[in-house]
Structure 1
């Protein structure tokens, strides 16, 4: 039986990283619980002190098919390369120069939202289609594929 999954990202600024990844993936910030117009209202009602209100955040696929992505505050900063990373399919169906041009355009768009470009890998047929490695605003690597 297939299971639902959630991807969890450790970070220093859950709300900020949630906004970034919502932009990358076309997701939206998860709505507050029923009966509340905002997360601030909900957290206040739950008795969460102001200094803890950015301990977690989440984004969801508006279409309901993609996994929920949960961001949790941790005290330590990222120190080494990710062993697991997200591949953002930014050029589906494209090959060669058209593919790389689409990846470059997406890399530029995401850089304007705080991403850092790390490396471009050129196409290497027959198996290597080419991709661009990026980092989110906290240094977590992901690929534009």
Structure 2
């Protein structure tokens, strides 16, 4: 049997898919995924597949601007988040440990300020040898992620 190559896609359960998708577009530089091939817009696709209009905001998908990397889908679920994530995303902005520490910290703090302004919350900062290594954050719905 000839199988297509699997692709990685991430899915985040949430209560407000469009809002969380907008937050993560900002955090990662992603864009809203276009409708499937053959449809000019999402409403046309949803109507054709007989999805009731009151369910149109139950999901959202974003992708890298350049097309390289995994897509991330957001799916509305009825239950709230109740425990720590076992898998989380790292928003890598510092340039790596080879970058001068003050510049790394400046980049991490700038990303933190921007994302806090858009609904994120800092849980804690982790230090290595007395220097900021990364921040543990929560997105607007409480999902953990790190700014590294």
- Give the TM-score normalised by the residue count of structure 1: 0.88
| Structure 1 stretches lacking a partner, 5+ long | none
Aligned residues of 2:122 and 2:137 also touching (Cα < 8 A) = yes
Task: Provide the secondary structure at the position in 2 that maps to 1:54.
Answer: helix
1:119 alignment partner in structure 2? 124
Select 1:48's aligned residue among 43, 47, 51. 51
Select 2:34's aligned residue among 31, 42, 45. 31
Task: Provide the secondary structure at the position in 2 that maps to 1:69.
Answer: strand
Count of residue pairs the alignment pairs up: 142
Deviation at 1:35, TM superposition (A): 4.5
**CA 1:49–1:3: 2 relative to 1, 3 Å:** closer
93-102 or 80-89, larger mean C-alpha shift: 93-102
- Give the TM-score normalised by the residue count of structure 2: 0.86
Deviation at 1:32, TM superposition (A): 1.5
Select 2:104's aligned residue among 92, 96, 99. 99
Aligned residues of 1:124 and 1:130 also touching (Cα < 8 A) = no
Structure 2 counterparts to residues 65-80 of structure 1, below 5 A: 65-80=68-83
Aligned residues of 1:95 and 1:129 also touching (Cα < 8 A) = no
Deviation at 1:89, TM superposition (A): 0.6
- Measured against aligned partners, the alpha-carbon deviations of 1:23-60 in whole angstroms (never above 9, x if no partner) come to 11111000113444432232123221122111211101
- Distance (Å, rounded) in 2 between the aligned partners of 1:96 and 1:75: 43
Q: Greater share of strand residues, 1 or 2? A: 2
Select 2:114's aligned residue among 91, 109, 121. 109
